[in-house]
């Protein structure tokens, strides 16, 4: 999928579902439940056992409906392997020029993690289109609002500690989308087979973002 389409879907829907530590046999039910709630972008983290197989399965079975990505991509070799498995974008917790180069050479979207103005401007110079503000919960919505003073043209995706209680505040501070892990892809709900509640949570997150982005 073309990079601009991936970016547009992320910004239009506002939510990237982060799947971490999930069992392979649960993957398709999770993805279907999230999709039914309006989530169209999903990432499997590379510290999840069997992540390449899960990315491959998602790309094969949900690739027409959802944007499939990889998270926690820490080096260029991993970047290559997730692309080969079918990922159309990658996220990282850090700013690694080698990972950015590897993804850009394949014309794939890379969303690196940034936490300081220096990292943000460095990422911009490396041609990064979207940046992961991490750890967003610890930094706070006020931090985002203040860095967007001098850096208003940077498009941020807060990740880490985002929930229904603070997501509106971040959206109003200028975030374009959010990465949500356990607050959305909740382990206890999955363990108990309560996939309908995953759908409900997905709907709640998407609706809350939409409401606050346009307020």
Q: Which residues are catalytic, by number?
A: 43, 132
* Joined tokens for residue 85: 């498995």
Q: For helices 27-36 and 51-62, what crossing angle results, to 10°?
A: 50
Helix segments in 15-140, DSSP class H? 27-36, 51-62, 76-85, 97-105, 117-125, 136-139
Do the beta carbons of residue 112 and residue 128 sit within 8 Å? Answer: yes
Specify the 3-state DSSP secondary structure of 41: strand
H or E segment and range at residue 197: helix 195-213
């Amino acid at each position: 999928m073309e990079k601009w389409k991936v970016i547009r879907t992320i910004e239009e829907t506002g939510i990237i579902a982060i799947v971490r530590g999930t069992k392979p046999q649960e993957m398709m039910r999770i993805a279907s439940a999230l999709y039914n709630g309006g989530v169209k972008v999903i990432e499997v983290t590379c510290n999840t056992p069997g992540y390449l197989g899960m990315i491959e399965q998602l790309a094969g079975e949900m690739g027409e409906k959802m944007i499939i990505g990889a998270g926690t991509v820490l080096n260029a070799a991993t970047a290559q392997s997730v692309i080969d498995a079918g990922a159309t974008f990658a996220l990282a917790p850090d700013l690694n020029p080698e990972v950015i180069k590897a993804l850009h050479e394949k014309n794939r979207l890379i969303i690196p993690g940034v936490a300081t103005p220096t990292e943000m401007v460095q990422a911009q110079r490396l041609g990064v289109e979207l940046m992961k503000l991490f750890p967003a919960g610890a930094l706070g919505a006020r931090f985002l609002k203040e860095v967007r003073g001098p850096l208003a043209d940077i498009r941020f995706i807060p990740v880490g500690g985002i929930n229904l209680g603070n997501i509106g505040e971040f959206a109003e501070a200028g975030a374009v989308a959010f990465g949500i892990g356990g607050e959305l892809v909740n382990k206890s709900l999955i363990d108990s087979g309560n996939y309908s509640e995953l759908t409900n949570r997905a709907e709640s997150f998407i609706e809350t973002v939409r409401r606050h982005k346009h307020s």
